[in-house]
């Protein structure tokens, strides 16, 4: 069991705070009435989902690199919860296709994270 008194570096703390803030922002944007949304959309709802979960996945894996699997499973569950909550709003509908777009965003995050990790290793070896 990890030592709760162990400190984490500032970079990791910033990533973790950023991840939690991004979770809150995605939830808020997902539950607002469509007419209230700021102009931060791609124009295609599925691309918006994929990009949001790509960002969440990258932030989460960078913040907890030893717990990547748990982060990814948690984000799939979070996507499902967001869809359920959207169904309760009266102005949004839950869609399986949105959850699929979330998962595809996470797959992209895994690929980008893997590329970043490989590049960092190569750079360290070359230095």
Q: In the chain, what are the domain boundaries?
A: 44-126
Our CA dihedral for 61, 69, 24, 39, rounded to 10 degrees, sits at 70
pLDDT recorded at residue 2: 57
pLDDT recorded at residue 116: 95
- Three-state DSSP at 84 gives helix
pLDDT recorded at residue 12: 95
- Altogether, the residues listed in the chain come to a count of 127
pLDDT recorded at residue 59: 98
pLDDT recorded at residue 10: 94
Model confidence, pTM: 0.89
pLDDT recorded at residue 39: 77
Q: What is the mean pLDDT of each run of 10 residues along the chain (127 residues)?
A: 69 97 96 84 88 98 97 98 96 96 98 95 82
Residue 56's contacts (CB-CB under 8 Å, 6 or more residues apart) are 19, 22, 23, 26, 75, 78, 105, 106, 109
């Amino acid at each position: 069991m990890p030592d709760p008194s162990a400190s984490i570096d500032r970079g990791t703390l910033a990533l973790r705070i950023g991840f939690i803030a991004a979770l809150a922002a995605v939830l808020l944007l997902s539950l607002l009435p469509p007419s209230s949304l700021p102009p931060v959309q791609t124009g295609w709802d599925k691309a918006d989902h994929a990009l949001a979960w790509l960002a969440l996945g990258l932030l989460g894996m960078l913040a907890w690199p030893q717990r990547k699997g748990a982060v990814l499973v948690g984000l799939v569950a979070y996507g499902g919860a967001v869809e359920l909550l959207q169904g309760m709003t009266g102005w949004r509908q839950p869609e399986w296709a949105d959850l699929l777009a979330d998962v595809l965003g996470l797959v992209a995050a895994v690929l980008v994270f893997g590329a970043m990790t490989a590049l960092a290793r190569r750079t360290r070896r070359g230095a």
